Every structure is written in structure tokens, then in C-alpha cells.
Structure 1
Amino acid sequence: MERQMRRNVLFNTAGSLLFYICQAAITLLVTALAGAEANGLLATGMTIANVCLSAASYGMRTFQVSDLSGKYTDRSYLFSRYITLTAAGLGCLVFSFINSYSAEQRWVIFLYTGYRLIESWSDVWHGYLQKAERIDIVGISFGVRGIVTALSVTLGLLLTKDLVLTLAILFVLNAAYVLVVDIPLARRRADLKRTGGAGVKALLLECLPLAVYAFLNTTIASVPRYYCERILGSVKLGYFNNVFLPVMILQVAVIYLFVPFITTFAHLWTDRNGKGFYKGLRLLGAALVALWIAGTIGVALLGRWGLSILYPTTPEVLDYAPLLGPLVLATVCTVAATVLCHLLTIAREMRGLILGNLAGLAAALLASQPLLRAFDVYGSAWATILGIGVQAIALLAFLLVRCKKQFAAG
């Protein structure tokens, strides 16, 4: 068991990190091969796609893998995902047309969102693998798809010089990979023939608070970016995303390092092992402090140099290098909030999840416009910190209250 856990941690972290490095490289490739204007179009598409992805995933992955009693069948999880995917896709279409976007911008939004929704499609299949303690397979799959993504964008832009056509190629190849590789591998670990238990409607209703939380959680970070594009324009939003890119890779690495331990925390919670659960929380806090210190020192010493290597064709990005410091703090807050959301899901503390995320969203909405107007693109970073910081503090408070009740007899 310990050997498999080490394998899970190694392959899932390495594969997921490779996937998101390659996914983040889309920004680099578009900037270098298509220019700042195309990168601005892509940045807007990324902002909308993030919200649609959270709606499609419905916040259900942690619920799925922690359903140790089998209250819902594997078929129910699968069918519910097709419903949420359809709803998210329709939501993307509606949002794109009620805003004054150009035809090219809408195509970028549609295709990039479609590409991201493939993650939600594969996510439910990956849930079967994680529940079977084979998240190492998930990591390998992510790694291969990351390479497919980077090659698709590189060759697409070099051969067609067209962002929309390149995104269409990206979408088709990723969908084909999930269909041909991911689904057959996961189907072997899923029991899709089992019937009984609660149905799809009951599952969607019980997870509705998780869907609301997932939507709110993504929206908190998206609100400052949305107003950045509306107030300052897509090019400056593109610069913000360019600077955030190396920090985001660190963020993804830390979050996916935690993923294999979700099942462990679920068992600690179910067994009412308060000592082990609190020890995990203390280790998490220490790791976040260490991450903040290391990240702050790293960007202070190497940040400008690193950006010059990443964006040799757009030296104007270097003017925004001071953004790196605040964005490291935003990353630490994001990791904390993400992990706390997972833990509250395990605790089935739905009320705390929603209220905590609502608090963060309210802070982001109130702060974004005045901070952007006062501090230009830097205001987007400070609004992100404020929103996610308030969210993390509220989530921690709800978790500690719930822990006190759960472990009272321990």
C-alpha cells in the first residue's frame, strides 16, 4: 500500500505538472508565434473557460472518490457529468453572445472552452481510477495529453498562422485521446453495470452545494481578470496572464501534490481520527508558509530574468515584473483555499463551503473596479489576494468548527 501511495504521488504530481506546464505554454506559444493581440484574445477565452470548467465539473470529484459506502453508482456519476457538461457548454454560448465580443473572440472562447471541458469529461473517468488507488494512471494520462497539447499548438500556429484553427485542432486531438485511451483504461476499474442506490437526480441535488461552491471558487479569481479586460483592455489582461504563468505552475504543482492525500483525509475523517487530521492541517500550514517565503525570495532574485527568457519577443512584459511578488501571495492563498474546499467536502460541510466562497466573491466584486482604477493592472493582483484571502479565512473557520463537533468524542 505504501509503495502504491508513493507511486501515486510521484506519477500524479509529475504528470499533472507536465500537463499544466504544457497547457500554460499555450500562452507562451501564442505570444511568440501570433503576437500580443492574439494572446489578449486567448486570455479572455481562458478567463471564461475557467468558470465553465468549474460548472461542468460540479465540484463532484472529491465527493465521488470519498463515496466509500457506494451510495451512488458509477453510472450515476457518469450520467450526471454529461448533464453538467451540456449545461456548461450552453452557458458559455449565452455568455459569449450577451457580451460585445467580436466574431473571432467568440470562436476563441468557444473552442478554448471546449478544450477545457474535455478535462471535466475525463475527470469523472479519472475518479474511478483514483477510487481504485490508481491515480498514477491519471498522472501518466495527464502527462501524455500535455505533450499532445504543446505539439498541437506549436504545429498549428506554425502551419496555419491562425489561432482559431489551431484551437480547433487542439480540441479534436484532446477529445480523441480521452476517447481512445482514458475511457478504456478507466472502464476496467468502474462498475457501470451496477444498478440501485440513489439516482442521478438525487446525486445532482446532493452535490448542488458543491457545484455552487465550485462556480463561486473559480469566479473569485476570474472577477478581477474580467474587470481587467473590461476596464484596461485585452492586451493588458494578456500581460497579467503572462506574468502569472510561472507562478501558476508552482500553484498547480502544490495542489496536485495534495490530491493523492484526499482519500487519506477521507479515512481519517470517517474514522474520527482527530489527532491525525489536525496533524495534517498543521503540516499544511507550515508548508504554505515555506512556499510563500521560498516563492517571494525566488521571484525577487530571478523573476525579471525568468520573464526575459520566457518572453524574448515581447520585452514589454518585463515592465510588469513587480506583479510577481503579489502573485506569489495570491498563489499561497489559492492553494490554501483549494485544500480547505477539499477538506470541507470530505466533512460534508456544504453550508460552510458556500458561505466561505460567497464571502470571497463579495470581497473580489467590491475591490476589483476601484483597485484596477487606482493601481492599473496591479489592482487585479491585489483584488485577487483580497478575494481569495477572505475566502480562505472563512473556510478555515467553518472547518475548525466542524472538526470540533466531529472529533469531540476523540
Structure 2
Amino acid sequence: MEKQLRRNVLFNTAGSLIFYFCQAAMNLLVTALAGVEANGLLATAMTIANVALSAASFGMRTFQVSDLSGKYTDRTYLFSRYLTVAAAWVGCMGFAFANAYSAQQRWVIFLYTGYRLVESFSDVWHGYLQKAERMDIVGVSFGVRGLVTAATVVAGLLLTRDLVITLAVLLALNAAYVLAVDLPLARKRADLAAKGGAGVGALLLECLPLAVYASLNTAIPSVPRYYCERLLGRVELNYFANVFLPVLVLQVAVVYLFVPFITTFARLWQGRQKAGYFKGLRILFAGLFLLWAAGAAGVALLGRWGLSVLYPTTPEILNYAGLLQPLVAATVLTVAATVLCNLLTIARAMKGLIVGCLAGLGAALLASPALIGAYAAWGTAYATILGVGVQALCLLACLLLRCKKQFAAV
């Protein structure tokens, strides 16, 4: 099991990072190969598709893989995903037609949203693989589809110079991989013939707080950025975002690193294994401290050099290098909050999730105008730290209260 866990961590982290980097590179590739106007079309589609992806996923993945008692069957999870993906795609296109977009923009929205919803559709199948401790297969899937994404964008735009055709091929290839590879492998680990248990409606209703939490969780770090743009302008927000980008890679990597351990924590929780569970928590928080120490040391030694390498045409960004240290702190707190949200989902502490996210959102809303007004772009980082920090503390308090009840008789 330990060998398989190491394999899961390695493949899932590597594959997911490849997928993340390739998606992040799409804007750069489209701008270079098709021009700024085409990238503007894609940027609009990305904003809308992110909302659709969140709605389609319904915050359900951790809930699914931690349903060790089989309250809901594998068929129920699958049928619920059919509904949420279809509703998200229809809602997305309804929004596109309700606004005065051009026909080309609507096609870009339709195809790019479809491409992202393939990710949401595959997510439920990946849940079956995760419960079977085969996150290595999931990592390979993400890695392959990430490379396919980058290669398709480059080849499609070089050959056709047409963003719509390129996105159509991208959607088709990603869907084909999921249908031809992921589904057969996941179907072997799923029991789609089993019936009984609660139905789709009950599942969606029970997971509704998770969907709400997902929206609130996204809003917390977005609030300081909103006030940064409103109070300081787009140029300052651009510098803030560019400095944050290399730090964000650290955040994404660590979150993906934790994913294979969700099943382990679920088994410890379900089995009321108090000693093992709290040992896992201690290791987790020790790891977060080491992450902060390594990140802080790394940006102190290499931060300015790294920014100069990433942005050679804008040397003025070095004036914002001091942002790196508070952004490392914000990143570690964000990872802590994300992990705690997963642990509360395993514990089925839905109220705790909502309370923690509302507290963080309230702190960010109250603090952002004052901190940004006083400290400019640095205030954006401080407001992010405050919002996510309050969220993490509230989530931790809720988790410890839930643990006290769960392990009371142990």
C-alpha cells in the first residue's frame, strides 16, 4: 500500500502540474500565434467557463471518495454528474446568448466551456479510481491531456489561424481520451450495477452546501484583487498578478500532492482511528510550516532573479519583488484552508465549511479597502492573508469540535 501511495503521489502531482502549466500557457500561445484579439475572445470564455466548471463539479469529489459506507451508489454519482454538467453547459450558453456577444465569441464560449466540462465529467470517473487507490492513472490522464492541449493549440493555430476550429479539435481530442482510456479503466473499479441507497435528488441536496462553499472559497482571494483593480487600477493589479504567478505554482503543487491522502484520512475518520488521524494532522501542519520556511527562503534568495527571468521586458516589476514574502504566507494559508475544507467534507461538517468561508469572506471585504488604501499593492497581499487566515482558523476550530464528537468514545 505504501508503494502504491508513493506512486499515486508522484504520478498525480506530476500529471496535474503538467495539465495546469499547459492550460496556463494557452493565453500566451494564443496571443503569440493568433493575436491579442483572439486571446481576448479566449479570456472571456475562460472567465465564463470557470464558473461553469465550478457549478458542474458541485464540490462533490471529496464527498464521493469519502463515501466509504456506500450511502450513495456509483450509479447515483454518475447520473448526478450528467445532470450538473448538462445544466452548467446550458446555463453558460444561456448567459452567452443573453449578452450581446458576436457569433464567433459564442462559438468560442461554447467550445472552450465544453473542453473544461470534459474535466468535470471525467472527475466522477476519477473518483472511482481514487477510491480504488489508483491516482496514478488519474495523474497520467491529466499529463497526457495537458500535453494534448498544448500541442493542439500550437498545431491548430499554425495550420488554420482559426481559434474556433482549434477549440473544436481540442474538445474532441480531450473527450476522446476520456471516453477511450479513462472510462474503461475506471469502469473496472466501479460498481455501476449496484442499486438502492439514496437517489440523485438527495445527493444533490446534501452536496448543495459544498457547491455554495466552492463559490465562497473562490470569492475570498478574489475580493482583494477586485478592490486592487477598483482603487489602484489595472496596471497595479497586473503587477500583483504577475508577481503572484510563480508563487501560485507552489500552491497548486502542494494541493495536488495532498489529494491522494484524502482516501487515507477518510478511512481513519470512518474507522474512528483517533491516534492515526491526529498523527496525520500533525504531519500535515508540520509540512505546512516547512512549506512556508522553504518558500520564504527561496524567494529571499532567488525572488528578484526569478522575476527578471520571467519578465525580461518589464524590469519595473522588480520594484514589486517585496510582495513575494507576503504572497508565500498567503499561499501557505490558502493550502491550509483547502486541506481543512477537504477534511471537513470527509467529516460531513457542512455548516462548518460555510461558517469558515463566510468568516473569511467577511474579513476580506472589511479589510481590503483600508489595507489597499494604506499599503497599495502590498495591502492586496495583506488583505488576502487576513481573509484566508481567518477562514483557516475558523475551519480548524470547526474541525477540532467535530473531532471531539467523533472520537469521544475512543
Bigger shift: 123-132 or 211-220? 211-220
1:56 aligned partner: 56
Alpha-carbon distance change, 294 to 9 in structure 1, aligned in 2, over 3 angstroms: same
Secondary structure, counterpart of 1:207 in structure 2: helix
Query: How far apart are residue 338 of structure 1 and its match?
Result: 0.7
Task: Indicate whether 1:176 and 2:176 are aligned.
Answer: yes
Using the alignment, how far apart are the partners of 2:73 and 2:346 within structure 1?
18
Shift of 1:286: 1.2
Match in the other structure for 2:186? 186
Show the counterpart of 2:392.
392
Q: Deviations over 1:359-383 (max 9, x none)?
A: 1122233344555555555444333
Residues 10-409 of structure 1 mapped to structure 2, 5 A cutoff: 10-30=10-30, 46-93=46-93, 111-159=111-159, 166-228=166-228, 237-312=237-312, 315=315, 317-372=317-372, 375-409=375-409
CA shift digits 1:303-337 (9 cap, x unpaired)? 23223333445556555443332322221111101
Q: TM-score normalized by structure 2?
A: 0.87
Contact 1:129 1:189 in 2 (8 A): yes
For structure 1, which segment, 277-286 or 34-43, has the greater mean C-alpha deviation from structure 2 after superposition? 34-43
Distance 1:138 1:77, change over 3 A: same
Cα deviation, 1:185-207, whole Å, max 9, x if unaligned, reads 22222222222211101111111
C-alpha distance after superposition, 1:12-48 (max 9, x if no partner)? 1221122222223334435655677876776665555
Structure 1 residues 68 and 388, CA gap change in structure 2 (3 angstroms): same
- Give the 3 Å change call, closer, same or farther, for CA 118–143 of structure 1 in structure 2: same
Q: Matched residues in 2 for 1:10 and 1:279: separation?
A: 22
Higher relative contact order (CA 8 A, sep 6+): 1
Cα distance per residue 1:79-127 (max 9 Å; x no partner): 1112222333344456667889888877666554443332211100100
Q: Judge conservation of contact 1:360–1:387 (CA < 8 Å) in 2.
A: yes
Change (3 A) 1:214 1:25: same
Which amino acid in structure 2 is aligned with residue 260 of structure 1?
P
Q: Which moved more, 1:243-252 or 1:308-317?
A: 308-317
Matches of 1:397 and 1:174 in 2, distance apart?
41
Do the aligned partners of 2:68 and 2:270 also contact (CA within 8 Å) in 1? no
The share of aligned pairs that are identical, in percent, is 76
- Greater CA drift, 11-20 or 234-243: 234-243
Secondary structure of the residue aligned to 1:291 is: helix
Deviations 1:139-193 (A, max 9, x none): 1111111111222333344455566665554434323322332222222222222
Query: 1:137, CA displacement in angstroms?
Result: 0.6
Where 2:25 maps in the other structure, the secondary structure is helix
Matches of 1:371 and 1:104, distance apart in 2: 41
* Residues 1:313 and 1:341: Cα distance change in structure 2 (over 3 Å): same
Q: Render the CA deviation track for 1:221-259: whole Å, top value 9, x for unaligned.
A: 333445555666666655544333222221111111111
Mean alpha-carbon deviation: is it higher for 151-160 or for 232-241?
A: 232-241
- For structure 1, which segment, 24-33 or 91-100, has the greater mean C-alpha deviation from structure 2 after superposition? 91-100
Residues of 2 paired with 1:26 and 1:181: CA distance?
Answer: 24
Distance 1:304 1:104 in 2: 41
1:41-71 superposed Cα distances (whole Å, 9 cap, x missing partner): 7666555544432222111111111111211
- Deviation at 1:392? 0.8
Change (3 A) 1:81 1:66: same
What is the aligned-residue RMSD (CA, Å)? 3.1
Rounded to whole Å, the distance in 1 between the matches of 2:8 and 2:146 is 18
Please give the alpha-carbon distance, in whole angstroms, between the structure 2 residues aligned to 1:138 and 1:400.
31
Give the direction of change, closer, same or farther, for the CA distance of 1:19–1:180 in structure 2 (3 Å limit): same
CA contact (8 A) 1:32 1:311 kept: no
Structure 1 pair 155/317, CA: closer, same or farther in 2 (3 Å)? farther
TM value normalised by structure 1 = 0.87
Cα 1:164–1:386 change in 2 (3 A) is: farther
Higher mean C-alpha displacement, 112-121 vs 31-40: 31-40
SS in 1 for 2:176: helix
Distance 1:162 1:314 in 2: 30
Structure 1 window deviating more from structure 2 (28-37 vs 354-363): it is 28-37
One-letter amino acid of the structure 2 residue matched with residue 175 of structure 1: A
Q: Sort the Cα spacing of 1:92 and 1:374 in 2 relative to 1 into closer, same or farther, 3 A.
A: farther
Q: Is the 8 A contact 2:19 2:145 kept in 1?
A: yes
Counterpart amino acid of residue 87 in structure 2: A
Deviates more, 1:296-305 or 1:28-37: 28-37
| TM-fit CA distance, 1:295 | 0.9
Q: Alignment partner of 1:295: what SS?
A: helix
State how far apart, in whole Å, the 1-side matches of 2:322 and 2:107 are. 33
User: Using a 3 Å threshold, how does the CA distance of structure 1 residues 244 and 382 change in structure 2: closer, same or farther?
Assistant: same
Distance 1:101 1:234 in 2: 23
Gaps of 5+ in 2: none
Distance (whole Å) between structure 1 residues aligned to residue 226 and residue 95 of structure 2: 12
Closer, same or farther: CA 109–255 of 1 in aligned 2, 3 Å? same
- In the alignment of these two chains, the number of paired residues is 410
